[in-house]
Amino acid sequence: MTAASHQTFAYAPAPESRAVVDIAPSYGHFIDGEFSEAADGKVFKTISPSSEEVLSEVAQAGTEDVDRAVKAARKAFTGWSALPGAERGKYLFRIARIIQERSREFAVLESLDNGKPIRETRDVDLPLVAAHFFYYAGWADKLRYAGFGPDPRPLGVAGQVIPWNFPLMMLAWKVAPALAAGNTVVLKPAETTPLSALFFADVVRQAGLPRGVVNIITGDGSTGAALVGHPGIDKVAFTGSTEVGKAIARSVAGTRKKLTLELGGKAANIVFDDAPIDEAVEGIVNGIFFNQGHVCCAGSRLLVQESVAEEVLASLKRRMQTLRVGDPLDKNTDIGAINSAGQLARITALAEAGEAEGAERWAPSCELPTAGYWFRPTLFTQVTQAHRIAQEEIFGPVLSMLTFRTPQEAVEKANNTPYGLSAGIWTEKGSRILSVASRLRAGVVWANTFNKFDPASPFGGYKESGFGREGGRHGLEAYLDVR
Amino acid sequence: MSDKKSGKPRKPEQHDPAGGPEEADTAQAARLAVFKTYKLYVGGKFPRSESGRVYEVTDSRERRLANAPLASRKDARDACAAARKAFGGWSGTTAYNRGQVLYRVAEMLEGRREQFIREVAEAEGLPGPQAAAVVEAAIDRWVWYAGWTDKISQVVGGANPVAGPYLNLSTPEPTGVVAVLAPQESSFLGLVSVIAPVISTGNTAVVVAAEKSPLPALSLGEVLATSDLPGGVVNILSGRTAEIATPLADHRDVNAIDLTGADFGLAVELEVAAADNLKRVLRPRPPAVDAPDWFADPGTDRLTAFLETKTVWHPTGG
């Protein structure tokens, strides 16, 4: 803690019990309603990034496994798409309810495999996962009223590749609308976080879904490439890096595959001089340190109006000193583990580039655990727009602060990025919110709040942050043949 | 402009330079027609191709109609710059205002109906009544989209019932500069059907006219120039589709591309190039599907293809 505090109240450890989760020593692929080994017997380990403990061994899908999964999904498509929408909806309602019942188990599992704090998995990820299934369940028998024509048809088999930052939530965002619209899916979770998707297979079993409607294959980028490149799929949905998103966009050129991409971001969080500073600082902290900054829509560029920059900076530093970094399963933890050694190396390298390019680096002093992957919440000041830390997505708990004088300058700086996923505005002036929001080239704008998500709210980016929307009525379009 | 001598079709005179003896006037010495120099339409002006190149445009029976500019890569880039420059103003006008401008296009076209019937008849080898039906449908299409400008937001946007104390509002916004490869087989109705939806929502467009029959498109530029449409909102290029489309698909300051006028091979190439900055891509219909019926109800697909959805959150209460 800081010199400013005269008295420190220590937190006693408050660990959530691991006993609620039973992780098997190994998992195969979930194809056609059954778990099976990889055709070539290849496996890889998934570890807990907070301890480097091996959690389980999972199968590495090769082209043969991908092919088998796609064929299972294709076979299941006939029956699934022919089901009355109301029946499909009831399956999804079942899934939503089972997720709610098993949410503590999933929350602990996700914190173990991903490294994110239990407070977030318990209070954010899992409630949103259940809500997402509940929301799209209700669409299944109402598609003709969704504004996509009188008889909108499903596309067929969806190949879905999801990232490691919100493993189960990204699964829900992909699977729920796909199934509601009558598609079947082959989903590949990220290499470093396969477990919650594999546990979801058990939810699918408990809900009694027909075989092959949901298939889950695990593997690395080569598995993902094999899936999106498979000629038997009709739809590709990808959430991940812009670089991979572009490669996928190239690979589907000339095919019938419909594509939606939810990619990187470099969001500006804009604080005007009339903003309530304390609330804004909470929003800045939530914007960048939520989920260790492993958030595509993270508010990673703080733009503060010059006249209040000093005040905001002092308050922000004070607040950052209270952030608790450590055991993801401790209920008091604010910032958990960095998801992987590779991601830690990338964050470290970009932070070093920030220093090398002349920005000023600051982080509160806090003890980091000895095992696992950790990075202190970090703030850069004296950042210019040309710095790499102001241009590139860091995907970690690193905030770059810049200043501006006029709203016009704020908008120009905010838009000065190839990305366009999200943005934040802090001001008490309503007309300013509306005028700035309308000029920001970003798919989601949070005004006097940040990092809010809801299944009814369309999410997705402008420019190189991708195309298509997930969530809400808009999210159905990605899984319907609307031609 | 229609012929000054009322009732006398101008078509034969157009063909004189081709030397068709069957077209030569006989009895009285006919007035020598004034040919039109067809030009590009870029940034509200009518430049020739910066390359100085032209190509001969013929009718469906290979008779010479006119020379058209053979636009270059540089012309394509200039058109993109003009479209970008116009985007802020056009996307910032009210939807009501955009609707009136689009309606004005219909008014101007109605006045030039005869000219376009003649140009379409020549370009597509259609008999008069069919060409008239095409032009009338095209005029009505402007009216259709004029009415959409201030309605599409309500149809595809609105308040979202999120589970918390927030106002959550989704609004469609134009994606930006859209490169439009006009259909090759429908030089006017198809052309209008791909331009009007793009600009009605506030996008600006760089349009590549049908390669073999660009004249109706170039004449449309003259109509747009007199329809209160700000310069640069629509830019029209003629020439080799592949040559012009490639720099458009590569261009980092183009937000979307409509591949309707590309054949399959070219469409694949352009879609790959478009991935470099993740342009929104509207693919041509697969060859297996029937040729598009440009007379059919256009629906909203071409409107929504070039819209982004922006969702704004704000706390309620307090």
Tell me, yes or no, if A433 comes closer than 8 A to chain B by beta carbon. yes
Residues of chain B positioned with their CB less than 8 A from the CB of A245: 278
Return the pLDDT at A233.
Answer: 98
Return the pLDDT at B306.
Answer: 98
List, in sequence order, every beta strand (DSSP E) within A162-234: 184-188, 214-216
| Residue A470 pLDDT greater than 60, yes or no | yes
* DSSP per residue, A224-248: HHHHHT-TT-SEEEEES-HHHHHHH
Residue A75 structure tokens? 């076979």
Q: Which of A449, A446, A437, A442 is nearest to A465 (CA)?
A: A442
Q: Between A445, A467, A474, which is nearest B280 by CB?
A: A467
User: In angstroms, what CA-CA distances link A275 with A6, A302, A428?
Assistant: 30, 14, 6
Interval A107-125 mean pLDDT = 98
Is A40 strand, coil or helix?
coil
Among the listed ranges A205-209, A275-279, B58-62, B198-202, which one has the minimum average pLDDT value? B58-62
Return the pLDDT at B14.
Answer: 47
- Does the distance separating the beta carbons of B308 and A452 come in below 8 Å? no
A425/A403 Cα distance (integer angstroms): 14
Q: Chain B: residue nearest A475 by CA?
A: B309
- Other Cβ atoms closer than 10 A to A130: 22
Residues of chain B positioned with their CB less than 8 A from the CB of A250: 271-272, 275
Return the pLDDT at B291.
Answer: 79
Q: Please, which residues have CB within 8 angstroms of residue B296's CB and are 6 or more apart in sequence?
A: none
Tell me if A15 sits within 8 A of A49, measured CB to CB.
Answer: no
- Does the distance separating the beta carbons of A459 and B311 come in below 8 Å? yes
Q: Between B274, B286, B312, which is nearest A445 by CB?
A: B312
Interval B188-194 mean pLDDT = 98
Please check whether residue B29 lies inside any domain of the structure.
no
Q: Which CATH class is domain A26-263+462-481?
A: alpha beta
| Residue A1 pLDDT greater than 70, yes or no | no
| Residue B27 pLDDT greater than 80, yes or no | no
Where does the pLDDT of residue B318 fall: very low under 50, low under 70, confident under 90, or very high at 90 and above? low
Q: Between B278, B301, B311, which is nearest A483 by CB?
A: B301
| Residue B114 pLDDT greater than 60, yes or no | yes
A41/A43 Cα distance (integer angstroms): 6
Q: Which of A418, A416, A460, A456 is nearest to A439 (CA)?
A: A416
| Residue A2 pLDDT greater than 50, yes or no | no
- Does the distance separating the beta carbons of A254 and B309 come in below 8 Å? no
Q: Chain B: residue nearest A444 by CA?
A: B311
Return the pLDDT at B62.
Answer: 93
Interval A140-168 mean pLDDT = 97
Return the pLDDT at B288.
Answer: 62
Return the pLDDT at B191.
Answer: 98
B237/B55 Cα distance (integer angstroms): 13
Q: Between A250, A454, A483, which is nearest B164 by CB?
A: A454
- The domain ranges of chain A are 26-263+462-481, 268-447
| Residue A7 pLDDT greater than 80, yes or no | no
Interval B241-258 mean pLDDT = 98
> B48 is in which domain, residue-wise?
38-315
- Does the distance separating the beta carbons of B310 and A249 come in below 8 Å? no
Interval B133-140 mean pLDDT = 98
Q: What is the CATH number of the domain that holds B80?
A: 3.40.605.10
Return the pLDDT at B13.
Answer: 44
Tens of pLDDT, residue by residue over A189-220, are 999 999 999 999 999 999 999 999 999 999 99
Interval A442-458 mean pLDDT = 98
Please check whether residue B31 lies inside any domain of the structure.
no
Tell me if A160 sits within 8 A of A187, measured CB to CB.
Answer: yes
Q: Which of B243, B195, B220 is nearest to B83 (CA)?
A: B195
Q: Which of A148, A181, A176, A144 is nearest to A162 (CA)?
A: A176
Please check whether residue B25 lies inside any domain of the structure.
no
Residue A290 structure tokens? 């939520």
Please check whether residue B79 lies inside any domain of the structure.
yes
Per-position b or e across B173-184, b if 16+ CB within 10 A of its CB:
bbbbbbbbbbbb
- Other Cβ atoms closer than 10 A to A57: 14
Burial class of residue A229 in the structure, from the number of CB atoms within 10 Å of its CB (0-12 exposed, 13-18 middle, 19+ buried): middle
Mean pLDDT score of chain A = 97
B255/B178 Cα distance (integer angstroms): 6
List, in sequence order, every beta strand (DSSP E) within A4-72: 26-27, 29-31, 34-36, 43-47, 54-59
Among the listed ranges A4-13, A451-460, B36-45, which one has the minimum average pLDDT value? A4-13
Tens of pLDDT, residue by residue over B213-247, are 999 999 999 999 999 999 999 999 999 999 999 99
Residue B278 structure tokens? 């993740």
Q: Which of B147, B120, B149 is nearest to B59 (CA)?
A: B120
Return the pLDDT at B317.
Answer: 79
Tens of pLDDT, residue by residue over A329-348, are 999 999 999 999 999 999 99
DSSP H helices, chain B, are: 11-14, 73-92, 95-111, 113-124, 128-148, 152-156, 189-200, 215-225, 241-250, 264-274, 301-304
Q: What is the value of pTM for the model shown?
A: 0.94
| Residue B26 pLDDT greater than 90, yes or no | no
Where does the pLDDT of residue B10 fall: very low under 50, low under 70, confident under 90, or very high at 90 and above? very low
Residues of chain B positioned with their CB less than 8 A from the CB of A452: 162, 164, 166, 313
Tens of pLDDT, residue by residue over A228-272, are 999 999 999 999 999 999 999 999 999 999 999 999 999 999 999
| Residue B25 pLDDT greater than 70, yes or no | no
Return the pLDDT at A10.
Answer: 81
Tens of pLDDT, residue by residue over A88-111, are 999 999 999 999 999 999 999 999
Q: Chain B: residue nearest A262 by CA?
A: B278
Tell me, yes or no, if A429 comes closer than 8 A to chain B by beta carbon. no
Tens of pLDDT, residue by residue over A287-302, are 999 999 999 999 999 9
Residues of chain A positioned with their CB less than 8 A from the CB of B160: 454, 456-458, 472
A268-447 CATH = 3.40.309.10
- Does the distance separating the beta carbons of B280 and A250 come in below 8 Å? no
Q: Mind telling me how many Å the CA of B54 is from chain A's nearest CA?
A: 32
- Does the distance separating the beta carbons of A454 and B311 come in below 8 Å? no
Q: Chain A: residue nearest B299 by CA?
A: A149
Please report the number of interchain residue pairs, chain A to chain B, with beta-carbon separation below 8 angstroms.
103
Interval B167-180 mean pLDDT = 98
| Residue A6 pLDDT greater than 70, yes or no | no
Specify the number of domains making up chain B: 1
- Does the distance separating the beta carbons of B272 and A250 come in below 8 Å? yes
- The set of catalytic residues of A is 262, 296
Q: Between B160, B267, B308, which is nearest A254 by CB?
A: B267
Among the listed ranges A402-411, B107-116, B277-286, which one has the minimum average pLDDT value? B277-286
Q: Mind telling me how many Å the CA of A147 is from chain B's nearest CA?
A: 8
Return the pLDDT at A350.
Answer: 98
